[in-house]
Amino acid sequence: MLTNNNMKMKKIITIYLILFILPIMVLSQETTKYIESFYSTRVINGHSSELVPPGRLDFKIGHRMGRINRMETFWGLDQATSRIGLEYGINRWLMVGAGRNTSQKMVDGFIKFKIFRQSTGARNFPFTISWLSTYAINTLVWTDPVKKDYLTNRMFYTNQFIVARKFGKNFSLQLMPTHVHKNFVELYADENDIYSVGIGSALKVSRRISLVGEYFYLFPGQIESQFFGMDVVNCFSLGIDIFTGKHTFQIHLTNATTMIEKGFITETTEKWNKGQIHIGFNMVRLFTIHNN
């Protein structure tokens, strides 16, 4: 028979298990769920917070046609600017990429990594925070008869924070404070270091389709000269993402034709209100190099 002391001890142990041990056991079984905000590593022209999955290779083709308000070029279809690139996921925190642009014959490379990932569950964090650093070099034939053709004059760099959050199941938003450095500028009044802030968004309308938008605000007073005789304006783009599994198709309207930060942030000159808009697309094909 159990004595009164034994019965009291049994009750104490039972209460202890209920109040302390069982909650710890339940919490220990809770997993962390990581949240992705965008289908692709690009919103439209600019980068998204996402990375290529580890061991995967993205083959990207970007295409920007001529102005849709010019009938003599068949509403822009006779003209094109393009970029071909490769991007590789090293691990779930790090990716690298490189590409070749027809605009100014630019060769570019970049590194992007995630500092934090938006998550729920055992580990709860409200944002995805990524860092992007890019490098580009102009390979056009040097035509300036006065200035010497130094290699450093052809180099450009970009550094960017990407802070993203997915709200609910269907809407994502990100901010992109950006710094672009040009080793060589046309006029002494121009700044070598140019600062801007971008905003990107995605609205999921079905399981495989999202509406996307992107805008980069260039802080005034940094660029005094004109680019090819036209004033530099802010880059604005709207589009749609179609995800088919291993392919992502991004179709959009934009006032920029260059697909690297140095171009679409600091050299966009065409205006939406004058019909100076370009139809463009990004086509992404994902290949598996190795399984992790």
> What is the per-residue DSSP string for 73-117?
GTTTTT-EEEEEEEEEEEETTEEEEEEEESGGGEEEEEEEEEEE-
Phi and psi, residue 176, nearest 5°: -135, 80
- Are 208 and 243 contacting, i.e. CB atoms less than 8 angstroms apart? yes
pLDDT, mean of residues 106-114: 96
pLDDT in tens, 1-31: 556 666 666 666 555 545 555 455 544 457 8
DSSP letter assigned to residue 231: -
**Helix-then-strand count for the chain, H and E:** 3, 14
Contact 257, 82 (CB under 8 A): no
Q: What is the spatial distance between Cα 166 and Cα 120, in angstroms, rounded to a whole number?
A: 12
Task: Return d(Cα 208, Cα 186) in angstroms, integer.
Answer: 45
Q: What is the distance between the alpha carbons of residues 135 and 89, in angstroms, rounded to a whole number?
A: 18
Cα(first)–Cα(last) distance of the chain, in Å?
59
Which residues does 28 contact at the CB level (< 8 Å), separation at least 6? none
* pLDDT (0 to 100) of residue 248: 84
Q: Is the pLDDT of residue 269 over 50?
A: yes
Q: Residues 184, 186, 191, 197: is their CA dihedral positive or negative?
A: negative
What is the reported pLDDT for 26?
A: 47
Rounded Cα distance, 115 and 119, in Å:
13
Q: With contact defined as beta carbons under 8 Å apart, do 109 and 97 qualify?
A: yes
pLDDT at 7: 64
* pLDDT score, position 75: 67
pLDDT tens digits, one per residue of 167-207: 999 999 999 999 999 988 766 557 789 999 999 999 999 98
| Amino acid identity at 129 | I
pLDDT tens digits, 77-87:
778 899 999 99
Look-up of token digits 């809407």? 171
Measured between alpha carbons, how far is 263 from 283 in angstroms, rounded to an integer?
A: 20
* Summary mean pLDDT of the chain: 86
Average pLDDT on 234-239 reads: 96
CA atoms within a 13 Å half-sphere pointing along the CA-CB vector of 19: 6
Angle among Cα 118, 122, 127 to the nearest 5 degrees reads 15
